[in-house]
Structure 1
Amino acid sequence: MPEFDIIVLGGGTGNVVASAAADEGLDVALVERDRLGGTCLNRGCNPSKKLVHRADVVRTVQQADALGVEASVEEIRFADIVDEVIGKITAEAESKAETARESDRITFYRTEGRFVGERTVEVDSTAESEGAGGGPVELTSERIVLAGGSRPVIPDSIEGTDEVAFLTSADALRLRERPDSLVVVGGGYIAAEMSHFFDAMGAEVTVVGHADRLVDREDPEIARHLTDAYAERHEVHTGYEVTELAEDAPNGRDRGEGDGSDESRDASGHDDGEKVVRAESEEGDEITVRGDEILLATGRRPNADAWNVEAAGIDTDEEGFVETNEYLETSADGVWAIGDVAGNYMFKHSGDKEAEYAVRNAVRGERAAVEYPGMAHAIFGSPQVGSLGKTEDELDGDYSVGIFAYDRTALGSALETDGFAKAIAAPDGEVLGFHVVGPHASMLIHEVATGVAAGADADRIAETVHVHPALSEVVQGAFREARGFPPTGI
């Protein structure tokens, strides 16, 4: 039974902990069934944003006419784009694996792992740094960091998922042949980003979301703005719960159904061998939409069950996330949890911050409470969204709101966009929330994140001298509106 100074379960954010522990002279077991880099590098943030960037370029060219520039997209080499993106991230993942193999301090088990007792993990004996073996092996350590990640949710409430082929986000990112039509089931950030990408690549996109607006966890005004923007380009159905996936027979009839009459076809007339999505509203209204492919983008769930955390005495909440305290300790002595599996935030940047504290606490023996200064997030759709703090529907009591449109600034007006920023401040000037929808929102949000992390209040952000005519004046304008300052310098 191999014993290590520390075991790290999960090679995404966990790889940061494993590398730091090895650098400090500890003998480390690193367990990851897939490529190192985890979801973000291989199946999430990195490939999706590289693909979305191509979509942004296409959209820029297509909209150039509005600025007096005659331009057109002559060809989109879809397979080449996907191959280039996947090739780069695969090379990066293999580079991480090679570094792990070459380390004298890391034993890399590229295999499934599961708890079988307190601080005991069973793996297949194939350790990449040791060569192949045979049969299961139990690894033990007084310290374990669980960075087990998450996986796409496949709702049990949807019939036909075991009979009809569908895509998850991981599949969609590696699809080499662009579908002519795509049905996206879900209305969150994955649905928004993937809809933007495939639409820009030339697919007809239909979005079916269960909430009354897309990205409904965002501030209501931001979410409504994005939903309206998507409805201009896509067929969007909000407020519908998907109940079934099916397939059209080649003659246009749904398999196992009636005569294929006009009443069973969608508004676009599609009835020729496509995949079928049926959905129903709370009021009982039913819709049927069709596409060459179906993407289920219905959220993600933690992998705690896959690691069999119960066997180690690790408590989870009702949604399956591992429960941790402010030191990232679990209910099991000597076990810490970070990243998606812990559910504090489900962002890569928050996972990286937690990895820093896991190194301090699990590796170095400190007892440091994790902090998330200025925690923000972004959605890389079209338009982009950036968000920090509370949304207006989460607040009670006294607060003030400032809304400032892009076109009220010199550069913003040149972008031909109707995006806006929204600042929410407490009576004493505390920044309660900031939300922005429009071009470069993923960058504009960082001014506020940095300010909040440094202890700045809404007045400080409002009074900071901003470069003119930079787009950041949109941020300043929102805070000046929230605090009742005159629009000096804007």
Structure 2
Amino acid sequence: MPTSYDVLIIGSGQAGNPLATALADAGRKVVLVEENHLGGSCINYGCSPTKALLAAAERAHQLRTAAEYGIKSVEPDLDFAAVIARKDAIIKRSREGVRRNLQQEHPGITVLHGHATFTGPHTVQVGLPGGKMQEIKAPLIFINTGTRAALPDLEGLAEVPYLTTTGLLDLQELPEHLLILGGGYIGLEFGQMFRRFGSRVTIVESGANLLEREDDDVCAGMREILEADGIELVLGAEARRVSQNEEGVITLSAHTRTGERRLRGTHLLVATGRTPNSDTLGLETTGVKTDEKGYIQVNSSLQTAVRGVYALGDIHGGPQFTHISYDDYRVVRDAIVHGKRRSAKQRPLPYTVFTEPQLGRIGLSEDQAREQGIAYRVATMPVRTIGRARETGRTTGFWKVLVDKQDRILGAAILCAEGGEIMTMFQLAMMGRLTYPQLQNMVIAHPTWAEGLNNVFAKLEKPGAA
């Protein structure tokens, strides 16, 4: 007979974990099923490990460039295995914290390790270690199984020891020459990271620009930053085939506007997007609907086509960010526990690309404002005009802010040191419906990065043509 619970959560990511504790604290009997490590992608192979490695890469860069500050520069003596060990220690502590939170600090939660497969709309069979099976039944089910690396249809890929971001995080030796297929934010973060560790890096992107969501000037600014670090960028390149010779050299052949390019390296990272982990859940037994890519279809309350079954986080498509997954948890928690309904389709989308300098983005880009027919004015300010930038020597990049007819902020792109933190200041202004003159005339402590809010609007251009 199936074991009955009030709530079944499949996947322990940034939506599933807090939802388990919230519903257990509300008196529900909860079971959480996780096939891999507790914590989901953010803790195990996403945000936490990559930002830990980026911090190490930044230290190496500071040693190389110390002469700019009157300190003798040195070439870092990189112990790459030790860098990876530090990252692993951070992950371990995070996993232990998640386990403690779920199994010790919140009674009412049962954690099962195994693969969950639906056998009906509200019944799931879990394959446990040792070959045992357990059937679970629950009126409320939340699918939080995330995504995995999407592999392109590339001739020869199956015969080459390619890496996804998960495998790259566990390397014990530094690649001599890393080829990266994909110029999105993942490819850029890893590209700059490994370049600063000392690898040669080549990024191959099929589009004409890096970061397809961004305006051309933002893409151009990012390109200048990466090329200044010594990264080779091959844009507008359609990868055709990949191979490896007896010496272990990987050759990636790509068609470009100037003809065929044969790019050679020691390692290949495939960073061409993600695909949902929905294909092994047995959804065909439930009535839950997916789109052509396999993402689970949900309404504005994150409910699937089956009553009582929800999809949270990356599995339902759309922007794949940890903070969006966490907000999915809040949307569902508020509806079920507090009786307050809020649409998951109408919310801000802040994000940060953790290159150095960072790119922080909130609201509309200039391209999006034009596409939507929204009249706007735009203010652009070079970072070098900020006193804090000159004093710290971090003068690369610019701020770009859009305002509407009512002088309120429409969006911002902050390509700057601490760009994510600065972007959040604009987000707060947008949430508070502040006008740009209020920011322009605000008394801000000197000398801080925030002082740029006083100055960025000095040269607002005329409204853009709708």
TM-score, structure 2 length as denominator? 0.92
Look up the match of 1:274: 249
Letter in 1 for 2:381: F
Q: Distance in 2 between matches of 1:319 and 1:466?
A: 48
Structure 1 residue 51: Cα displacement: 0.6
Aligned equivalent of 2:111: 108
Pair 1:219 & 2:215 matched: yes
Is the Cα contact below 8 Å between 1:219 and 1:435 reproduced in 2? no
User: Alpha-carbon deviations, 1:289-331, whole Å to 9, x = none?
Assistant: 1111111111112222232333321222333322222222122
CA deviation vs aligned residue, 1:84-112 (integer Å, no higher than 9, x gap): 11122123213422443445422212111
- By how many angstroms is 1:373 displaced? 5.2
Name whichever of 460-469 and 207-216 sits farther off: 460-469
Counterpart in 2 of 1:256?
A: none
- For 1:382 and 1:296, how far apart are their aligned partners in 2? 22
- Change in Cα spacing, 1:362 to 1:136, as seen in structure 2 (3 Å) is farther
Change (3 A) 1:363 1:242: farther
Structure 2 residue aligned with 1:83: 85
Please state how far the C-alpha of 1:363 moved relative to its aligned partner: 4.8
Q: 2: CA distance between counterparts of 1:54 and 1:107?
A: 37
* Match status 1:403 vs 2:380: yes
Say if 1:321 and 1:199 are closer, same or farther in 2 by CA, change over 3 A: same
- Indicate yes or no: 2:331 matched with 1:335: no
For 2:418, the equivalent position in structure 1 comes to: 440
1:315-354 residue pairs with structure 2 within 5 A? Answer: 315-354=289-328
1:66-98 CA deviation, whole Å, 9 max, x = no partner? 233323234111100101111221232134224
Q: Answer whether contact 1:114 1:122 (CA < 8 A) is retained.
A: yes
Quick one: structure 1 residues 28 and 474, their matched pair in 2 at CA, closer, same or farther if it must change by over 3 Å? same
Bigger drift between 83-92 and 27-36 goes to: 83-92
| 2:265 alignment partner in structure 1 | 291
1:26 maps to which of 25, 28, 41 = 28
State whether residues 350 and 372 of structure 1, in contact with CA within 8 Å, keep that contact through their aligned partners in structure 2. no
Q: Which runs of 5+ in 2 are unaligned?
A: none
The answer on whether the counterparts of 1:374 and 1:450 sit within 8 Å (CA) in structure 2 is no
Q: Is the Cα–Cα contact under 8 Å of residues 189 and 355 in structure 2 kept in the other structure?
A: yes
- SS of residue paired to 2:299: coil
The structure-2 alpha-carbon separation of the partners of 1:330 and 1:457, relative to structure 1 and needing over 3 Å to count, comes to farther
Q: Cα offset for 1:374?
A: 4.4
Q: Within 5 Å, give how 1:421-432 maps onto structure 2.
A: 421-432=399-410
SS of residue matched to 1:96: helix
Cα distance in 2, alignment partners of residues 108 and 228 from structure 1:
48
Which of 422, 444, 447 matches 1:469? 447
How far apart are the structure 2 equivalents of 1:457 and 1:158?
50
Q: CA RMSD in A?
A: 2.0
**1: distance between equivalents of 2:354 and 2:394?**
19
Structure 2 Cα separation of the partners of residues 280 and 362 of structure 1: 52
Aligned residues of 1:164 and 1:247 also touching (Cα < 8 A): yes
2:204 aligned with 1:201, yes or no?
no
The separation in 2 between residues aligned to 1:422 and 1:25, in whole angstroms, is 48
Residues 321 and 342 of structure 1 are in contact (CA less than 8 Å); yes or no, is this contact kept in structure 2? yes
SS at match of 1:59: helix
On the 8 A contact 2:357/2:396 being kept in 1, the answer is: no
Query: Could you say if the C-alpha distance between residues 331 and 430 of structure 1 is closer, same or farther in structure 2, counting changes exceeding 3 Å?
Result: farther
Q: Distance in 1 between matches of 2:293 and 2:458?
A: 40
- CA distance in 1 between counterparts of 2:278 and 2:143 reads 9
1:355 to partner: Cα distance: 0.8
In the TM superposition, residue 481 of structure 1 has moved relative to its aligned partner by 3.0
Q: What TM-score results when the alignment is normalised by the length of structure 1?
A: 0.88
Paired residues, what number? Answer: 454
- Note the C-alpha offset of 1:438: 2.1
Measure, in 1, the Cα distance between the counterparts of 2:413 and 2:111. 42
Match of 1:150 in 2: 147
> In structure 2, the residue corresponding to 1:369 is in which secondary structure?
coil
Q: Matched residues in 2 for 1:171 and 1:243: separation?
A: 23
Which range is displaced more, 57-66 or 26-35?
57-66
Give ranges in structure 1 of 5+ residues lacking alignment: 127-131, 251-272, 485-490
2:181 corresponds to 1:185: yes
8 A contact 1:420–1:474 mirrored in 2: no
Please say if residues 83 and 176 of structure 1, whose CA atoms lie closer than 8 Å, have aligned partners that are also in contact: no
Candidates 168, 174, 182, aligned match of 1:172: 168
Equivalent in the alignment of 1:3 = 4
- The answer on 1:387 being equivalent to 2:383 is no
CA 1:327–1:21 in structure 2 vs 1: closer, same or farther (change >3 Å)? same
Aligned partner of residue 13 in structure 2, secondary structure: coil
Q: CA deviation at 1:416?
A: 4.8
Task: Determine the C-alpha separation between the residues in 2 that align with 1:29 and 1:416.
Answer: 49
| CA distance in structure 2 between the partners assigned to 1:294 and 1:438 by the alignment | 29
What secondary structure sits across from 2:460 in the alignment?
helix
Partner of 1:118: 121
